[in-house]
Chains A and B, each alone.
Chain A
Amino acid sequence: MEDPSIDKVAISGPALASMIQRFSTSQGSVDGLIFGHVSHIAPTLTDDSPNSTSSATLIATITGFFCSGSTHSFYNSSGRVDPVLLRRLVQAQAQSPSAHLLGWFSGRRKTHLRPSLREFSVSNALSSNPNLTFPIQNPSEGPSNPNLVPSLFLLFASPITDQTIHTHEYRAYHFRASKHSFEPKSIQIVNIGPAFRAQYENFSPNSPFPNLPFELRVSPMIVDRGEESLDQLRQVNKDQSELDMCSEGLEVGSLSRLMGSEAANYTTGVEDLYEKMLVKIESLTTLVEKSSAKVLEQVSLY
């Protein structure tokens, strides 16, 4: 079985930070799934070294993750993966079609930063599951473009003895299904900023907005002040109707359509709106001009 080697793992700084945060705030050990895509990066032309391989390197980009908040979320204690549980988790996290299941991660406190027996078994099972394969995002022109399997494993741990320098450790591994072994991989953290421009242009994060905690119960304080809130509501309604007059049927919610695949169709709509607004402003200015001219005439008559 052909088993292309992933050369690098890239993750956005916030995504990594958010994974570490989920791990550090959880009660015990955690696990979860990581999503993203794998793409070719053409070798840079400036590389003169004779050893440089001509083939493009494969880079796995982590764009999203799901943290279960506990362990054994899709496998049992001997590391056997439960396909039903796994499918349910993957579907619940259905993202854009470009995000595939890249692998999984495990976080455990105060342990050595080495994959355990169970983690090995889970990675082995994931990478040998024929139902989870996915293609390379931008296939190279060559004849061989093998499908990939979820073979990434991110391990988080905290040092056994308390350290003053750092509180968390992490390491990425690529599980080679052909060799049945873990290969440690370097993690490239992609941040926003001028220094990272080159990286960032290759990078398209599309993690879903995280679920915000939503308080369903109404606080008793608000119930007591019913009248006041009614006034507020009335005010809000009034403001809204004024705003609606300006927007002429365009809703703020639909602005989100400016991003993504529908953007091309939608921008014309927004441009129309802007044009109408400009016309209004123009007529307003001519009105002002005329009225002030009239005022001037009256002043000169006296």
Chain B
Amino acid sequence: MSPETAPPLIAAQLNYLLSHFPLVVKIENKWSGSKYYPGILDRFTLVISYCLDVIKWDIIFDAESPMAAPDVIFGPDDENFQQFLVLRGEEEGDTKSPKNFLNDWNSRDPTQLMLLIQELRDQYMSFQKKCVAEVDDDRLKFEISTIVAREGIEMHMSSGVDKPEEVKFSVPLLDMNINKMVPGCPWKHKQKIYLQVIYPVEKKYVSTPSAPRLKLVSTTELKSIFSIDDVKLPTWLNGMCMAEYLPHLEESLENQVLEAVSLIDVRRRFIEALALQFGRPLEADPVFCRKATFLAASGVFTFLVHVLISTQFPKQQPELMLQSSQHFNSQGAPIKSLFLTEYPWSPRWEIPLMAERICDYLTDEALNFKRYCNEPQLQH
């Protein structure tokens, strides 16, 4: 038995939450509040994604009574959230209120914690919406009125003693399911691209409101087919509003995503063309086609060729790396070459030609690499 475990009923709740929550949720910290059983974990800090940031809530179970409903301690900045929750719970008698989950807590049902967190997060979203709506800034009021209908928009009011007041929006872009566009997609969460818009709250006397800070953010796994850093945002003109800005951005982004998806196939054909030169790859990334490893030989010298293909592929040439299968360094690890990026390349070549030119280049490069492997200082 491992020394630190959660009681089975609590562990079941947590496992279900971690595996079934539709958004990203993590347990950042877990510890025990028990006096006599310090190994029994019953307090957890959950990190829940919200508005392109995270919220941290402490979930307090009781190891002494694992059947009892947990309690929640919200973040130090969210003191008014409890007030919002309790007042709202009094107004509406609706069955989905977090209060009802806690009232009718059934510890035998492992879905309870997830449902509670989901409901609390939904309520948190309404709470932040209410906070933002109370901000006295005409431009913000206008922006909210025009974009509030967008599905999945989240907002967050940030203010503090030494921070300027800001309102942050996370606007989901592109109404398309990227997961479905990638054949054999392994992603658990739905991949999305968001525009983060941060408005400074303006004082009344400012005549020309400053432009908001804009940033594109994507879910992390999307990076394997599409890098958000390569997107150039259209400029925000003076006096512009989000409703004007978003359609242009979405249009150009849509084209880029479609292209990125079509490039998967180009990379696949490239790997297939390499296979004609080098033989069947030892290993290849079958979904995104970003990597392939081939076995090659120059005389008796055998080595591996790792081909790393960027999302910008034919424009950007693949990076090659050679790894000897006969030479090892003093730590016993196989000797590898540096990344090779300087070799003849043209994006306009046909794919079979690209593969052919790489093969030609490697025929020469293999000799250099062999010499490099045989250099005496490396063998010690």
B-contacting residues of A (Cβ < 8 Å)?
A: 27-29, 71-72, 76-80, 108-112, 114-121, 124, 160, 180-182
B69 nearest in chain A by CB position: A77
Measured between alpha carbons, how far is A120 from B32 in the docked complex, in Å? 23
A111 nearest in chain B by CB position: B60
Residues on A with C-beta less than 8 A from B32 are: 110
* 13 A-B contacts (beta carbon < 8 Å): A27-B64, A28-B63, A71-B62, A76-B103, A78-B98, A79-B86, A109-B34, A117-B85, A118-B71, A120-B86, A124-B86, A180-B83, A180-B87
Contact B83 A27, beta carbon cutoff 8 Å: no
Residues on B with C-beta less than 8 A from A29 are: 33, 62
Counting CB contacts under 8 A, is B58 at the interface? yes
Contact B72 A114, beta carbon cutoff 8 Å: no
Q: Do A108 and B33 form a contact, CB below 8 Å, given A28-B62, A76-B103?
A: yes
Contact B63 A114, beta carbon cutoff 8 Å: no
Contact A27 B35, beta carbon cutoff 8 Å: yes
A180 nearest in chain B by CB position: B83
Contact B103 A160, beta carbon cutoff 8 Å: no
Chain A to chain B: the 5 pairs with minimum beta-carbon distance, closest first = A77-B69, A78-B102, A28-B64, A120-B82, A110-B33
Interface residues of B in 30-76 (CB under 8 A from A): 31-36, 43, 58, 60, 62-65, 68-69, 71-74, 76
Counting CB contacts under 8 A, is B162 at the interface? no
Residues on B with C-beta less than 8 A from A118 are: 71-72, 102
Residue among A80, A180, A181 facing the most chain B CB atoms (10 A cut-off): A180
Of A77, A119, A124, A181, which is within 8 A of B102 by CB? A77
Residues on B with C-beta less than 8 A from A120 are: 82-83, 86
Counting CB contacts under 8 A, is B175 at the interface? no
Residue among A78, A110, A114, A115 facing the most chain B CB atoms (10 A cut-off): A78
Measured between alpha carbons, how far is A124 from B87 in the docked complex, in Å? 9
Contact A109 B100, beta carbon cutoff 8 Å: no
Q: Do A111 and B79 form a contact, CB below 8 Å, given A28-B63, A72-B68, A117-B72?
A: no
Measured between alpha carbons, how far is A112 from B31 in the docked complex, in Å? 12
Measured between alpha carbons, how far is A117 from B57 in the docked complex, in Å? 11
Q: Do A77 and B68 form a contact, CB below 8 Å, given A28-B35, A111-B43?
A: yes
Contact B43 A110, beta carbon cutoff 8 Å: yes
Q: Do A117 and B35 form a contact, CB below 8 Å, given A77-B103, A78-B99, A108-B60?
A: no
Counting CB contacts under 8 A, is B105 at the interface? yes
